[in-house]
Each structure stands twice: as C-alpha cells, then as structure tokens.
Amino acid sequence: MNNTYDCLVIGCGLAGAVISRELAETQGKKVLIIEKRSHIGGNTYDFLNEDGILVHKYGPHIFHSGSKRVFDYISRFTQWRDYSHEVLADIHGTLMPVPFNLNSLYMAFDSEKASRLEKKLVATYGTDKRLTISQLRDQTDSELVELADFVYNNVFLHYTEKQWGVTPDHIDPSVIARVPILISRDNRYFQDKYQGIPSNGYTSLFEKLLKHPNIDLQLDTDANMVLKMIGNDILFNEKPFKGTVVYTGALDEFFDCRFGRLPYRTLDFLFETHDMTWYQSKGTINYTVDKPFTRITEFKHLTGQNIQGKTTTMKEYPREYTGNEGEIPYYAILNDENFELYRKYKKLTEGCSDFHLLGRLAEYKYYNMDAIIECALKLADHMIGVEKGKD
Ligand code: FAD
Ligand code: UDP
C-alpha cells in the first residue's frame, strides 16, 4: 500500500482537501487523505439535523475574502448564496451593530453627543475608515476617551475574557484587531469584496473538491497511529514512505507532546431547536456584557433555508483545551512563549524536505478559510516549482 500513493495528506479540512485536489489534478499525483473524524470538511462540516435544518457542527462559518484567486478557485466547487453576515451586540438589552459603527454610536449616546462624536471621529480619521480599539484608546480628547472606554468595556472586555480567559491587554493585538471600529454606517461584520455561504452547504462543496480519481480517503483513522517521523525518515504503516506528506493536524500531537502541549482554547456548543420561525433578528448576537456564552447564531439566517415554525440556534461556551478525549483545539493562543514552543516542534520536521505543515493547527495560526485556501494554493505553487527544478 505504501507504494500506491505519491502523497499522504493528514486531515480532511479545508487545508487538506485543497492541497489534495491540487496535487491530484495539477500534478497528477496519487493522494491518500487520512482523517480521524468520521466525516470530511474539518471544522466547516455542516449537516441536516433531525428537523431538516442545515447546521454547522463546529460553529458558524461565513466565507469572506478579498482575494479573487481564492474566490475563483473555490467557486469551481460551489455556487453561492449571496449573504452578508450581520452581528449585533447585546449591551444591557440594547442591540447594537458590531463592528461598532456610526449606527451603534447613535444607539449608545444621545443624538447631540453622538453627532459631536461623529464629527470628531471624521475629523480625526476621515470617513469610511476603520480603526482598532487600541488606536481609539490612544486618543487624548476627553469625549473620544469616553467613547473608547464605552466600546472597550461594552464590546471587547467581557467577550474577550470569556473567549480567551484573560483581558484584551493580555492577548495578541491582532486578535482584537479582527473586529475594527468603523467610521461608516456599514452594518456588515466583514467588509471583504467576496462573501457568501455555499448554496448547498460546505459538506457538499467538499464532496466536489474531493471528487477526483487520484484522491482516496480514509476516515476514522488517527494518522499519528500509522505515521511516524524517525530522524529524517517517514514511516507509514511501519514501512519507509518516500513521497510527499502534508500534515494539517496539531504538531505537538504528532510528536506525542514531548515538549509539552501547545495551548489552545476549545468551545462547547449547545444546539437548541425552537418552535418558531425566527429566534433573533440577525445571524449572530454577541453577548458582550453578560451570560456565560459568547454568542448565539441562528443558522437559517446564514443558509436562507425556508422552513416555517422551526429554527435552530447555537450557543458557544469557550474554555481551556486540555487535550482530553473528544476535545477539539479550535483557537491557537498567540503569544511569544507559545510560538517558541511551536518552533521547537517545527524544528523536528526541518530535516525532512518533503514533509509540509499546512493549516490552522499545523501552522499554529488564526487563519480564516480564505487564508487557508491561499496557503494551500501557494504550497502547491511551491511544489510545482520544486518539481520543475528537478527537470
Ligand atoms: P481543520 O478544519 O481543523 O481541519 C483539520 C482536520 O485534520 C480535521 O478534520 C481533523 O480531524 C484532522 N486531523 C487532525 N489531526 C489528525 C490526525 N492525527 N489524524 C487524522 N486527521 C487529523 N473562518 C472563516 O473564514 N469564516 C468563519 O465564519 C469562520 N468561523 C469559525 C468559527 C469557529 C467556531 C472556528 C473554530 C473557526 C472558524 N473559522 C472561520 C476558521 C475555519 O474553521 C478555519 O480557517 C478552517 O476550517 C481551517 O481549516 P484546516 O484544514 O486548517 O483545519
Ligand atoms: N471580540 C470581542 N467582542 C465582540 C467580537 C469579538 O471582544 O463582540 C474579540 C474577541 O477577543 C474575539 C476577537 O475579537 O476573540 C475576534 O473576533 P472574531 O469574531 O473574529 O472571532 P471568531 O469568529 O474567529 O471566533
């Protein structure tokens, strides 16, 4: 069996599926994907629940990207429901758009004060601009300081404490910067040019992505039980494997956590189906000042399913990842100490020139779906370059 395949791809999430398709189609390689779950799609997996409502098993996924290359590529495998995600923050019972924008401003303050603040924001930053909460907190004007305090305390502080277990000052600034403050009346959560939801869902997209005669798939198999790196050599099913390996799982686990576990946050999801057509007015409501969960998502807003009298929601409860059976590492905790530990693991792979780390887990990064597709396409470009170099 070892000689049957040119490439082994570990994990059938977006990273694994895109690189497999590229290896199979563009480079004509025989690829075996090994996936430990009993389904394809990784964390984007969706399915019809018992009430016929399409739900995202591992949290709400909305595709968004500024990259034409990424959008064109993935659009080969799906049509799109034209959907712009909107999120409201529940701030002591008032629902305000997030990212905090000029509409939120007029909900948070009386109109006279809001109008004064709007003028100051426009004078300082310009119209249609985006800034981070840290930039706003650097202001010295007393009213802008008051605004910064309002947004920090009511949008970022408690949500971040729930999500990460620490205050915003103790996490990597790039994490909070994902959610800007907008000097505009754009209520969309993302401002990217391309956004939407696959018309028939993510699992259907994956089925098309993987449908290629050169791709085989083995589910319910933990690769760490069959794949080993001994020195610079790869053993697959205890025999030497000389082909390409692309690994998209957690890197510490591949090496039996020999230097200690890489820290992650995990989530508990609570699905609830209600006897009503709609539960809430927008796709997601963030609970930014109270409640033990961070957000509630109502899937029908995302998918556009026309089902009367039933709707399914999901609550997300973040907590520390311990590595216990059944837990999934969702979010890498970005800081210098953790990168240092990650680099120790990565170093172990560096002598093995055809062993590649790809994806949110294997690269220990906070990637969106579009970034994963881009990384996979770039890795494929790189591999083609190496192949050509051999000629
Ligand atoms: P994964 O999807 O995690 O896939 C890795 C796969 O490898 C998994 O299937 C896993 O089972 C398998 N695997 C791991 N170890 C092994 C092993 N030892 N053997 C065999 N198989 C193994 N991005 C967006 O762009 N928009 C969103 O709205 C969005 N929402 C999100 C919401 C949540 C709650 C989360 C957690 C993420 C969200 N993301 C979103 C990010 C998105 O999920 C990721 O960018 C993308 O799924 C990462 O793909 P991946 O292939 O790197 O990882
Ligand atoms: N965040 C927040 N309040 C919000 C939304 C986000 O404090 O209402 C912070 C929080 O720290 C979160 C980060 O911004 O982890 C990034 O948010 P995003 O919505 O991008 O997170 P994801 O969808 O990836 O979980």
pLDDT tens track for 351-377? 998 999 999 999 999 999 999 999 999
Q: Is the pLDDT of residue 385 over 70?
A: yes
- List CB contacts of 344: < 8 A, sequence separation 6 or more: 259
92 has pLDDT over 80: yes
* Residue owning the nearest CA to atom 27 of ligand 1: 61
Decide: helix, strand or coil at residue 198. Answer: strand
Taking alpha carbons only, the member of 163, 108, 134, 198 closest to residue 286 is: 163
Atom of ligand 1 at shortest distance to CA of 267?
34
- By the 8 A CB rule, do 257 and 75 touch? no
**Arithmetic mean of pLDDT, 292-315:** 98
- Output the pLDDT for position 230: 94
Q: Quick one: average pLDDT of 270-290?
A: 98
Q: How far is CA 21 from each of CA 220, 303, 306, rounded to the nearest angstrom? A: 20, 26, 33
For the chain, the average pLDDT equals: 97
Query: Is the CB of residue 163 below 6 angstroms from any atom belonging to ligand 2?
Result: yes
Does 159 sit in the ligand 2 pocket, CB within 6 Å?
yes
Looking at residue 343, what is its pLDDT? 98
Q: What is the mean pLDDT of residues 78-105?
A: 98
CA distance readout (Å), 164 to 21, 115, 161, 167, 286 = 35, 34, 5, 8, 15
3-state secondary structure 304-372: CCCCCCCEEEEEEEEEECCCCCCCCCCEECCCHHHHHHHHHHHHHHCCCCCEEECCCCCCCCCCCHHHH
45 CA closest ligand 1 atom index: 2
Residue 316 β-bridge partners: 269
- Closest ligand 2 atom to 168 CA: 11
Q: What average pLDDT does this structure show over 241-261? A: 97
Query: How many angstroms separate the CA atoms of 223 and 227, rounded?
Result: 6
Query: How high is the pLDDT of residue 390?
Result: 75
pLDDT digits (tens, 9 = 90+) for 196-249: 999 999 999 999 999 999 999 999 999 999 999 999 999 999 999 999 999 999
Does ligand 1 come within 6 angstroms of the Cβ of 192?
A: no
pLDDT band at 315 (very low <50, low <70, confident <90, very high): very high
Question: What mean pLDDT do residues 243-266 have?
Answer: 98
The response to whether residue 338 sits with its C-beta less than 6 Å from ligand 1 reads no
User: For residue 266, how far is its CA from the centre of ligand 1 (angstroms)?
Assistant: 12
- Banded model confidence at residue 384, pLDDT cuts 50, 70, 90: confident
State the pLDDT at residue 2. Answer: 54
| pLDDT digit string, tens, across residues 119-151 | 999 999 999 999 999 999 999 999 999 999 999
CA of 43 to the centre of ligand 1 (A): 4
Residue 157 binned pLDDT confidence (cut-offs 50, 70, 90): very high
Three-state DSSP class for residue 273:
strand
Identify the helix (H) or strand (E) that includes residue 302.
Answer: helix 299-303
Residue 1 has pLDDT above 60, yes or no: no
CA distances from residue 368 to 35, 42, 190 in whole angstroms, order as listed: 20, 13, 12
CA gap 279, 277 in Å, rounded: 7
The Cα 205–Cα 79 span in angstroms is 9
Distance, in Å, from the CA atom of 36 to the CA atom of 42, rounded to the nearest integer, reads: 10
Nearest residue (CA) to ligand 2, atom 10: 160
Ligand whose nearest atom lies closest to the CA of 170: 2
Predicted local confidence at residue 3, as pLDDT = 63
Ligand positioned closest to the Cα atom of 159:
2
Residues ≥6 apart with Cβ < 8 Å to 350: none
How distant, in Å, are the alpha carbons of 73, 118, 170, 212, 320 from that of 156? 35, 20, 12, 45, 19
Cα 130 from Cα 222, distance rounded (Å): 43
Whether residue 133 has its Cβ less than 6 Å from ligand 2: no
Q: How would residue 389 be classed by pLDDT, with cut points 50, 70 and 90?
A: confident
Expressed in angstroms and rounded, the spacing between residue 71 Cα and the centre of ligand 2 is 24
Higher pLDDT, 388 or 308: 308
- In this prediction, residue 103 carries a pLDDT of 98
Please name the residue whose Cα sits nearest to atom 36 of ligand 1: 330
Residue nearest to atom 38 of ligand 1 (CA): 61
Please report, for residues 68, 80, 196, 371, 375, the alpha-carbon distance to residue 71 in angstroms, rounded to integers and kept in the order given: 5, 11, 10, 11, 13
